[in-house]
Amino acid sequence: MQDIPIGALLTALVLLIFLSAFFSASEIAVMSINRYRLRHLVESGHRGARVVDALLARPDRLLGIILLGNNFVNIAASSVATILAIRLYGEAGILAAAVLLTIVILIFAEVGPKTLAAMHPERIAFPAGMILRPLLTVLYPLVWLINILANLVLRIFGVTVGARAQELSMEELRAAVREAGSLIPESHQNMLLGILDLEKTSVEEVMVPRNRIQGIDLDKDWGEIEEQIMSSRYTRLPVYRSSLDNIVGIVHLRKALNLAGNKNLTMETLEKIIAEPYFIPKGTPLNTQLLNFRDAKRRRGLVIDEYGDILGLVTLEEILEEIVGEFTTSAHGIGEGYRLQDDGSYIVKGSTSLRDLNRQLDWHLPTKGQHTLNGMITEYLEAIPEVGTSLLVDDYAVEVLRTRGTAVEVARIIPQRRKDDEAADETEAG
């Protein structure tokens, strides 16, 4: 060692620190690379991506070669630094060399390279893979022996080493969509989140409830039936006798109007164009029903409970609105089931869907359990409310304005932000 020039030792020390930085950066870059983008690059034929993907297939071997190289160069650097300290300052320089080398390695071979690799994993991982793969081939017997010993230790603790697929849960996938930022336009993000949320929503949450279904009663006078066909704003209507429990089928009004135009619309010809009803079991998730509509070539169906009773009607359009939003717009402050008042409160029909209120007004009324405003009020009170009854549901003030029989027909709702504004005004006035 005394014959080795000090300049050569310094050069060797710098080279060893550089190699340590390479192994440190390679470890972080390869392990933190986006696996889904990596898969895309592999499919597109990227050479560096294919190499890294092959290395990640056995992470124990990859880590083995990286850590073997990193520890070897660090120990070698420590030995060279010790020799330099003794050559320059004698034994008194050993402690100073150890402290100085520790600082240099931490900054230039650990923290710095790893931070850079974490910020730009692809720029580091792909070139590093080209070096690590042949290095792993050359040193495979040593890496294999080290891995065998390490895997034996892991098995003692019940850990099985092998390739592990990186999977995202639904919540993680939702978070990834929300955090996509400018990569995905906000409107597209909302659509993607709407698709992911379909499985959490059942058909009865978006259906038209039974008491709001408009249909054709074949037991009525023909004149009434004909007038209903001519004036209806819907393209398809359920057909029944006396009540929905005696459902006959669904009629396409365009066919009926064509018959009327040819002066051929009669009770007999109407019955001939009635299609068989399509039933949907209660509790069917929207994503499942969307596929069922496609397979059955249907656009609407009747929701039934376990006893076969009809609960409501679901259309394809209502499911699609859960993804893309409302197809139709209304005048400012006016919805189908609610109306904005001058004082900031809303007059809401009891049959209005809670999901519609939340979506259209950006509210957060509870939707678990009951699905309409009337259902929410009666469930909360556990009784049939009287006119003038007030309650507070999740910070929304609700007042019953009108009832009909056992149901709430109209109620007033004061949203939380309106209450917060009033409180702020009172504070400022005080």
Reported as a single tens digit per residue, the pLDDT across 261-280 is 888 899 999 999 999 999 99
Reported as a single tens digit per residue, the pLDDT across 105-143 is 999 989 999 999 999 999 999 999 999 999 988 988 888
Instruction: Check residue 417 and give its pLDDT.
Output: 57
Instruction: Check residue 26 and give its pLDDT.
Output: 92
User: Is the predicted pLDDT of residue 333 greater than 60, yes or no?
Assistant: no
Instruction: Check residue 429 and give its pLDDT.
Output: 47
User: Is the predicted pLDDT of residue 422 greater than 90, yes or no?
Assistant: no
Instruction: Check residue 144 and give its pLDDT.
Output: 87
Reported as a single tens digit per residue, the pLDDT across 351-393 is 888 888 887 888 888 887 778 889 899 988 888 889 999 999 9
Instruction: Label residue 329 by pLDDT band (50, 70, 90).
Output: very low
How far apart CA 260 and CA 388 sit, in angstroms, is 50
More confident residue, 66 or 159: 66
Of the ranges 16-30, 49-63, 180-194, the best mean pLDDT one: 16-30
- Would you give the distance in Å from CA 221 to the centre of its chain? 52
Q: Rounded mean pLDDT of 168-174? A: 75
Instruction: Check residue 180 and give its pLDDT.
Output: 74
Q: Rounded mean pLDDT of 22-31? A: 92
Percent residues over pLDDT 70 in the chain:
91
Percent residues over pLDDT 90 in the chain:
38
Statement: the pTM of the whole predicted model exceeds 0.75: no
Instruction: Label residue 240 by pLDDT band (50, 70, 90).
Output: very high
More confident residue, 294 or 325: 294
Long-range contacts at 361-368 (CB < 8 A, ≥ 24 apart): 361/335, 361/415, 363/396, 363/415, 364/394, 365/393, 365/394, 365/396, 366/393, 366/394, 367/205
Instruction: Check residue 297 and give its pLDDT.
Output: 92
Instruction: Check residue 161 and give its pLDDT.
Output: 61
